[in-house]
Every structure is written in C-alpha cells, then in structure tokens.
Amino acid sequence: MSLLSSQAVEAHAARIGKAAALRSLLAGPGLRFIMEAHNGLSAKIVEESGFPGIWASGLAISAAMGVRDSNEAS
C-alpha cells in the first residue's frame, strides 16, 4: 500500500472531478485507507498526511460539538 501525496490526490480529483475520483478510489484494485475527521483541524491533518480520502460521521461530529446525535450538527 502506498499513500499518495495530497497534491497528487488533488490533481487527480481536479482532472476527473471529486465524485469520479471517489468512485475510482472505491472501485480500484487493492486496499486503500481513508481517515475519519471530526472537525476542521483533524480534516486538515488528514489532508496533509496524504490520505486519499476523508470521511466524517454524524455521531463523531455531534460528540465533538457536545450535542446529541439527531442531525443537529451535520
């Protein structure tokens, strides 16, 4: 497994679009790791670390903000 640099991921997404880049990441061969981010700071850390994708869950965002998980924060 190799992590692509964030510049390479951004260039790829710019060429084919972000939705298509995600589809190709999911459909591609091999195992890829994407990282969860629960706020802007952790998303920036994930991006600078070179992960090819970032995901967030409503529960993680709600917990970070101190509200119940009823789609109030996301």
Q: Are 47 and 54 in contact (CB under 8 A)?
A: yes
Is 69 among the catalytic positions? yes
In terms of Cα–Cα distance, which of 28, 36, 37 is closest to 1?
Answer: 28
For tokens 């090819």, what's the residue? 52
Kind and range of the H or E run holding 54: strand 54-55
Instruction: Identify the active-site residue in 38, 47, 69, 73.
Output: 69
For the annotated catalytic residues, the residue numbers are: 69
